Amino acid sequence: MRKLLRTVFAVSKVFNVIAAIALTLMIAITVIDVFLRTIGHAVVGAYEVIGMICAPFVVGLAIPLSSWNKKHVAMDIVVSRLSSASRNTFYIVTRIVCILLFLLMGYNLLSVGSGFRTSGEVTQMLHIPFWWVTYCVAIACFVECIVFVCDIIRLSLEEK
């Protein structure tokens, strides 16, 4: 169990590193684009590289580690007043709801990506295919499901 937790945490961290690189790249492209634009040579396709490629990586791949570190905003003033057993029950039920939700999201993102792939959709200016970006975000959704499973495992380990 602990090995699974370590592995999932490591994978989430790797995803987060990719998201961090994408964010840094986003800043670099923006600065270069604005600078070159002032001298009349804007970077062609900067807008679409930032929007269609960097942005999904920044947000999508940061999801698993954000969940692992409990960064998402939640309302705990009600559950914090419940007994430990009730709180844990609610926690497990909500994790299951989240697993189902992200399974559906991941599955549908794969469908969206397949749609882009079969229709040969590319970015307007640079003609870069972006179906693979959708696949990456879908994979992040599946990793997120495993993070929720790990949440339940962590809870049971804490109880022991």
Partner 1 sequence: MNEVAIGITGIVVLLLLFATGIELGFAMAAVGFVGFSYLVSFNSAINLLGRDMWDVFSSYGFTVFPLFILMGQIGFNSGIAVRLYDSAHKFIGHVPGGLAIATVMGAAGFKAICGSGAATSATFASVAIPEMERYGYDKRLSTGVVASVGTLGTIIPPTVFLIVFGIITEQSIGKLFLAGIIPGLIVAFFFVLIIYTWAKIRPDLAPRSEKATWKERRATIPEVFWVGCIFMVVVGGIMMGFFTPSEAGGIGTFALIALSVAKRDLTFKRYVTSLNEGLGTACMLLMLIAGSTILGHFITRTNIPQLAADWIVGLPLNRYVIMLLICLVYELGGSIIDDLAFMVLATPIFYPAVLKLGFDPIWFGMVVAITVMIGIVIPPVAICVFVVQNITKVPIGTIYKGVCPFLLALVLVGILLFLFPSIALWLPSVAIK
Closest approach of Cβ 157 to partner 1, in Å? 19
In the region spanning residues 36 to 75, those forming contacts with partner 1, defined by CB under 8 A, are 47-48, 50-52, 54-56, 58-60, 62-63, 65-67, 69, 71-75
Residue 120 region by backbone torsions, left for phi larger than 0, else alpha for psi between -120 and 50, else beta: left
C-alpha gyration radius of the chain: 20
- Residue 91 in tokens: 């926690």
Comparing C-alpha atoms, which of 40, 38, 59 is closest to residue 50?
Answer: 59
State the angle between helix axes of 84-118 and 131-159 in degrees (0 to 180), rounded to the nearest 10: 170
- Residue 90 in tokens: 């609610």
Closest approach of Cβ 98 to partner 1, in Å? 5
Closest approach of Cβ 34 to partner 1, in Å? 6
Residue ranges in contact with partner 1 by CB under 8 A: 16, 19-20, 23-24, 26-27, 29-31, 33-34, 47-48, 50-52, 54-56, 58-60, 62-63, 65-67, 69, 71-79, 87, 90-91, 93-94, 97-98, 101, 104-105, 107-109, 111-112, 130, 133-134, 137
